[in-house]
Amino acid sequence: MRTSIIIKIFVSFLLVSLLPIAALIAYNDWANRKIVYDMKIEEIKKHAGKIARSIDRELSEKKSAIRSLCGKHLSGITGREVRSDLIKTRLERLIKSVESTESVFVLDSGGDIVTHTHEIPIRNYGDRDFFKEAMKGEVYVSEPAMEQGAGYIYYSAPIGNDRKEIVGVLVMMRQAEGLWKLIEEERDYMGKGSLCILTDAYGVRIAHATDRSLIFKSWVMLDPGAKNQLETKCHYGEDVREIGFTTIPEVSKALARSSEFYFIHPLVINTENNHGYCVPLEEKNWKLIYTVPASTFLSQVRHLTRNAIFSSGIVFAVIVAVTWLLSVSLLRPIKRLMSAADEIANGKLDHPMSINGPRQDEIGKLMQSFDVMRHKLSASYRELKDANTEAILMLARACEVRDENTGNHVLRIKQYSTALAKEMGLDESFVKELGTSSILHDVGKIHIADCILRKQGSFTAEEREEIKKHPALGDRILGEGSFFQMAREIARWHHENWDGTGYPDGLKGEAIPVSARIVRLADTYDALVTRRPYKHAWPDRAAYDNIIKYSGKYFDPTVVGAFKRLFEKGIFQKIEIAYT
């Protein structure tokens, strides 16, 4: 039953229509990824909010505690300054009631210390932010400050008299270690690489989960005036003399917003994008950033993607398998047809066309027609090849009529040239063509007069010039046909020298065809070891030494190398004896 190729193509396209199934799987994967993505963002948001509320609660409790201390122990001051003995006594009772982990001290309206617990640096605090804000009547919480190598947070409240005048400031100095550890405990809490960062109103980091050296570095470009004021007024303590700066624009933009914000950003501590969530605090103008590396953030998403890829892989595997089984019968004969065409293009006209069983479709008929064409081309090629060989032999016989020694000479040249080409590792087809073409290297001598060609003794200068015409005459005799391409280049250039001193064109080096370079050496060797009307035969070793001597001048060094190896094996000597 005839099966049309059109039907096979139709079936293949029908199978490809299964791709919508894979598209549906991909859509489901996208939808699931989005759900997980949103859930992960919500998880970060909730956890960041939880930490922010914890910090807010801590700040609120401490603010309430210092407000309570002021109300309980310092009420009833009647217009007196905090430096009076009565007030000082009450203040001493106040600070003794405070927890031993906290340092408390009282400042007068000028910022000088009135009384204190623990070891408090005795100096004027009038320029410090916690003093200034408390003197305005506010209960204030400072940013973490570095004092004598340790971090502290200052809680301050105003001390007023019965006339509602602020006569001093109560300050609670609490170590910042608790806040820093709270942030540092969040490292890797939501997966490897996750971290928490706390920043103040200026964008300066005041707590960091991984590296305390990054504290007191700003994420935003501080105004030079504000930066100078923060540094000179010891906003972050006596130990912080310069506020550092790192540029991460995405974080700067997030900090500039007044509300919660999700964003993607880089970090100095890793080389991947990070998914961050920024949450503002209520009790203090601080912002908390919780960030998770993309590799951790997308781990669940990648798990879903792997499942989707696995499902899609199964579907595609089925499609590919079925399509392959149905199309292989279509593709295999086409590949055989292409392979046969390549072989024929390379001259292998006897390459068989293998057809597995009878085919009744269009490809079967095409293969049969192609095989018929191959047989006809093969027959035509053999006829042309036979004609070419006959023409070469005919020209060689014409040379034999002129010189009785020429017949053996051209046979020796053929053998020498073939042996050299093989030793040089040249292609087999080249070697075969070279052997046939080399016998025509002196075909141009047909036009040289017998009085010169058969002269006994040395040639005159005029006779030598006449002899030198035979390469160009040989080129002209062989014409422009492709069959004589190699024979023509040998005939014209087999007297060219490697250094460019030869004739008729003065070609140099690799500009001389390799076939002519090979015949150049073979012809010279045979001319030296053979008796001619004008010279005696040289010994083999003398001829060998002469050729080695002119390597790189008259002869191609590569061809000379092959000649040297063949001579040492005795190949040239055997050819000379066999064809003498």
Give the SS3 label for residue 260.
coil
Q: What is the pLDDT of residue 41?
A: 85
* CATH code of domain 74-175: 3.30.450.20
Nearest residue to 246 via CA among 269, 262, 225, 229: 269
Identify the architecture of domain 403-578 in CATH.
Orthogonal Bundle (1.10)
Q: What is the pTM of this model?
A: 0.50
pLDDT of residue 301: 62
How high is the pLDDT of residue 181?
92
The per-residue pLDDT for 78 is 46
Q: How many CB atoms lie within 10 A of CB 501?
A: 11
Q: Residue 420 is encoded by which pair of tokens?
A: 């050299």
Q: What's the CA gap between 447 and 79, in Å, rounded?
A: 142
Tokens of 48: 């960041």
Within the chain, all domains assigned CATH 1.10.3210.10 are found at 403-578
Fold (CATH) for 180-297: Beta-Lactamase (3.30.450)
- The predicted pLDDT at position 547 comes to 94
Residue range(s) occupied by CATH 3.30.450.20 in the chain:
74-175, 180-297
What is the spatial distance between Cα 434 and Cα 562, in angstroms, rounded to a whole number? 16
Mean pLDDT by 10 residues, the chain (580 residues): 53 61 61 72 89 92 83 56 64 63 82 80 87 91 90 90 82 89 89 89 90 87 87 87 84 84 78 87 92 78 61 65 62 68 67 57 67 74 70 62 62 93 93 90 84 78 87 87 86 94 94 95 93 84 94 95 95 89
Distance CA 532, CA 455 (A): 10
CB 157 within 8 A of CB 249: no
Torsion of CA 568, 573, 574, 576, to 10 degrees: 150
The pLDDT of residue 574: 93
CB atoms within 10 A of CB 555: 23
